[in-house]
Amino acid sequence: MFEKRLGLLPLGVLMALPMLGLQVLSASQVAQAAAPRGLGLQGPLVQFIDTNVTSDHADISVQFACSVRYITNNPMNHGSSTRITLRLGPDCGTLLNMPVSELPIVGGAGELVTGARLDSVVPGEVTLELTWSRELDFVIAPTANQQGLRLRLLGLGKRKSSVKFTDAEAPEGYAVNLDSGFAPFDDAAVRAAAALLNTQAYVSETDIEEQHWFRLRVGPFASRVEAERVLKLAQAQYPRAWLALNDEDTSLAVVQRAGAASTLSALPSDPALPDAERATLLRTARDAMTKRLYPEAVEALTRLLRQPEYAGRAEAQELLGLVRERAGQLAMAKAEYEEYLRRYPDGPAAPRVRERLQSLIQASLTAKSVGDSTITADKRWTMAGSSAVTYQYGKAMTQTPTSSSSVTSLNSILVYGGLLLRDHGERYDFTTRIDAGYTHNLINSFGGSQDRTTAAYVEATDRHLGLTGRFGRQSLASIGVIGLFDGLSVGYQVNSKLTVSAAAGFPAYASYSALSSKQQFATVTAEYGPFKQAWVFDAYVIDEVAGGNTERRALGLQTRYSGQGHSAVLMADYDTVFQQFNSVTLIGNTRVPGNWLIGFDADHRRSPLLALSNALIGQTAPDLSALQLEFTPSQIRQLALDRTASSNTFVLSGSRALGDRWQFMADIATLQFGGTQASGGVAATTSTGLDKNLAVHLSGSSLLQSGDFNLFGLRFDDSPTSRSATVSWDARFRLPGAWRIGPRFSVEQLNDKTSGTKQMLYLPELRSDWTGRRAVFEVTTGYQMQSQTLQVQPGTLTGDVQNGSFNQRNYYVSAAYRFRF
């Protein structure tokens, strides 16, 4: 199977598994693998979920306590939630055969990401369900080290602006912001600004988070040099003036004419062109408009409108308004239509232009959204947070032909909380955040208690410069580095398409890690997009150092495509020291005829992540410094390569709606782990061979009652060493009030081809939850029954193979409460 079942082993071996896991992990992962988990879940599988929200997208970062393999997600690229299917890696220990249920806290999300839930119906497999406040497009990808996920929500459109013009031109390109305030500017102030600076002036309105601002501006300017010239002149009268670049969103504009007269009629005239050249410009504009190349169309039409009055000018005036409207520049379109009616009130297109203008005016009267937050708009400071408490208890009973035992396998309390404070200004934002928790393990022999901190930082943002700095414990939601670190990160938005960021500090490999300077890293990333409204390109370089040695130095690239009904992600990570690819991953989905949504995942990677400290695997030396006493630097690099296996995964999935209530989903997956070479006194390992897996699911809603949900599953797995079949059912039904109840049941049959062992696993479970607007309370109870038949040594007299038996019973209960404020 993908991961061999560990629940078949005797109790003593199970308790030793975290130590055995050191043989397959790099030193950088040892801290996580060796976390005291006992027989069950002593800490959460989800270390943290962090969200970084910008004006047009949000990045969700998820980190797990052990390695996971992404299989598929449904819905694949659009919806208000997604259900992500993951296979647990061998370093997850006893979680491979234990049910998992968690309500992780989502940090930094405010009101956008409304919930997260981790469930397990089939042993060795978990589903992470993430929900957000409205339907959005999204793309998802795993991280290079297999211990995280990154999901981007697209098209938030969070900042909504409106513009009040003194002239025909809406802000485009560079502008100079003269003054800002919470009260509107009167027409006299607008006229005075225009007269003082001898340019066009306007008033814009914008909602920045929960605060509504009015801006007095002049512009637009085609070049930064011209804008800076006006800025210097303006600062004598307007000391708070600053330069703005493409920060007005007029696609959602509520536009009104202001007091100063329109300057359209005062546009300078160019020398008259021949009629043939005017006709060519008009054809160029029409062709560009057909191809949706709106800037090219605007340029050609503007040249025509700068001509002295001629017979075809009215047509160009109307066409420019139409181009602006189709480009989403409603403010500019309205101004162009008004100029047409002023110049040509009885023109041939006047009735059509009046109709279009009236439509824009009606559209401008719609009420503006104040965003997602429930905080009132008269407060600059906002606060958001969440807290959760979970109690877990489990008991395991084992019986063999010669003995029986009973042990409390799980008894712990988990407390978590997060607080986000933010000050929103016209130019500056200040943020402070802390997310922390405590796991109190009542079974001291299984590792004691732990406190954990997943975020503790301060952040400052200058929106006008596009510069952000953050200091403290944080996660870096960029490719190449995802996880926790203690240090500094900075980001700079060069323009509307290019963002550059950098980070440096000390890695924290788990949320319970203390500040340590033994390892350092630095990384620089760049993101460009969207390109043609569909492509985004990311690149990074990262350098990690441990004890004066280069642990890892890599270059990475990620390309994302998101279109109507299609999305794809291509990622590659190349280590420049070892001159090896760490990982190459291609994930995509597309809609095909017949209403099928097809997804695929092709992944090649080194396992574990290629790093110099992999040379310690199988050695007695405690660190690289001690290992350097026995081997040369080149030998250590070779040892690291020899200890690092490779793996290849391919997943093909498909889903299709069957009527209004049913949906069919299936995925075929293959996995192959490569072997490792013998060197440095460590024996070689052989390849696991090709593991093949088929899973089929059928989900139905409103079958027994309105709003119920049923998920029926069938999974087959065949590997060179074992074969299994699993049948599962997961359901949720409504109860009076806000309560729901969710029975689930799975049966697995496992045959070990090498030893002849046979196992039957039965897992009934019942979950009940209450969901309010800001709170969730959940109780889960279950009973796991395993019966195993073993082939033992032949009898001394007959030589026949004798059968033994091994039975284990586990029951568990958990209660969790989560509250958002």
Taking the C-alpha atoms of residue 371 and residue 160, their distance in angstroms, rounded to an integer, is 8
Number of continuous H segments (helices) and E segments (strands) in the chain: 11, 37
* Residue located via tokens 């601002």: 213
- Parallel, antiparallel, or unpaired for β 125-142 and 242-245? unpaired
* Residue located via tokens 């930082």: 457
- Over residues 266-307, the pLDDT tens digits come to 445 678 888 889 999 998 898 888 777 887 888 889 888 888
Give the CA dihedral 506, 510, 514, 517, nearest 10 degrees.
-20
In the predicted structure, residue 258 carries a pLDDT above the cut 70: no
In the predicted structure, residue 252 carries a pLDDT above the cut 50: no
Taking the C-alpha atoms of residue 454 and residue 433, their distance in angstroms, rounded to an integer, is 10
**For 93-102, 212-221, 224-233, which range has the lowest pLDDT when averaged over its residues?**
93-102
The whole-number pLDDT of residue 657 equals 84
528, amino acid identity: Y
Quick one: which of 90, 28, 37 has its CA closest to 481? Answer: 28
Taking the C-alpha atoms of residue 709 and residue 742, their distance in angstroms, rounded to an integer, is 9
Taking the C-alpha atoms of residue 133 and residue 131, their distance in angstroms, rounded to an integer, is 7
**For 92-101, 222-231, 237-246, which range has the lowest pLDDT when averaged over its residues?**
92-101
In the predicted structure, residue 536 carries a pLDDT above the cut 60: yes
Highest mean pLDDT: which range of 19-28, 78-87, 380-389, 445-454: 78-87
- Using DSSP's 3-state secondary structure scheme, residue 466 falls into coil
- Over residues 608-622, the pLDDT tens digits come to 889 999 999 999 988
382-397: string of b/e by CB count within 10 Å (b at 16+)? bebbbbbebbbbbbbe
Mean pLDDT over the full length of the chain: 78
**For 41-55, 63-77, 182-196, 807-821, which range has the lowest pLDDT when averaged over its residues?**
41-55
- Using DSSP's 3-state secondary structure scheme, residue 777 falls into strand
* pTM, rounded to two decimals: 0.66
CA distances from 237 to 196, 230, 379 (A): 9, 12, 29
4, amino acid identity: K
Please report the DSSP string for 137-184 in residue order. Answer: EEEEEE-TTSSEEEEEEE-----EEEEEESSSPPP-SEEEEEEEESSP
Quick one: which of 470, 495, 376 has its CA closest to 108? Answer: 470
What percent of the chain lies above the pLDDT cut of 70? 80
Taking the C-alpha atoms of residue 177 and residue 175, their distance in angstroms, rounded to an integer, is 6
For 593, left (φ over 0), alpha (ψ -120 to 50), or beta? beta
Sheet holding 242-245, edge to edge: 242-245, 174-181, 211-221, 201-208, 160-165, 256-257
For residues 200-221, average pLDDT: 73
**Exposed/middle/buried for residue 268 (C-beta within 10 Å: 0-12, 13-18, 19+):** exposed
Could you tell me which residue, 667 or 31, shows the higher pLDDT? 667
Taking the C-alpha atoms of residue 540 and residue 545, their distance in angstroms, rounded to an integer, is 17
Contact 48, 643 (CB under 8 A): no
Contact 694, 665 (CB under 8 A): no
CA distances from 452 to 373, 415, 416, 456, 582 (A): 28, 10, 9, 11, 30
Could you tell me which residue, 417 or 443, shows the higher pLDDT? 417
Quick one: which of 281, 335, 291 has its CA closest to 313? Answer: 281
Give the DSSP letter of residue 444: G
For residues 2-26, average pLDDT: 30
Contacts of 346 (CB under 8 A, 6+ apart): none
In the predicted structure, residue 485 carries a pLDDT above the cut 50: yes
**For 101-105, 414-418, 428-432, 796-800, which range has the lowest pLDDT when averaged over its residues?**
796-800
For residues 636-641, average pLDDT: 94
For residues 526-531, average pLDDT: 87
Contact 676, 639 (CB under 8 A): no
Helix, strand, coil abundance in the chain, percent, nearest 5: 20, 50, 30
Alpha-carbon radius of gyration of the chain: 31
- Over residues 352-368, the pLDDT tens digits come to 888 788 777 655 443 33
For residues 689-703, average pLDDT: 90
Count the alpha carbons within 13 Å of 165 in the hemisphere toward its beta carbon. 27
Quick one: which of 513, 459, 443, 520 has its CA closest to 491? Answer: 459
Give the DSSP letter of residue 193: H
For residues 22-31, average pLDDT: 30
Q: Which residues pair with 655 in a beta bridge?
A: 597, 665
Distance of CA 793 to the CA centre of its chain: 53
Contact 606, 146 (CB under 8 A): no
Could you tell me which residue, 256 or 735, shows the higher pLDDT? 735
Confidence of residue 64 (pLDDT cuts 50, 70, 90): confident
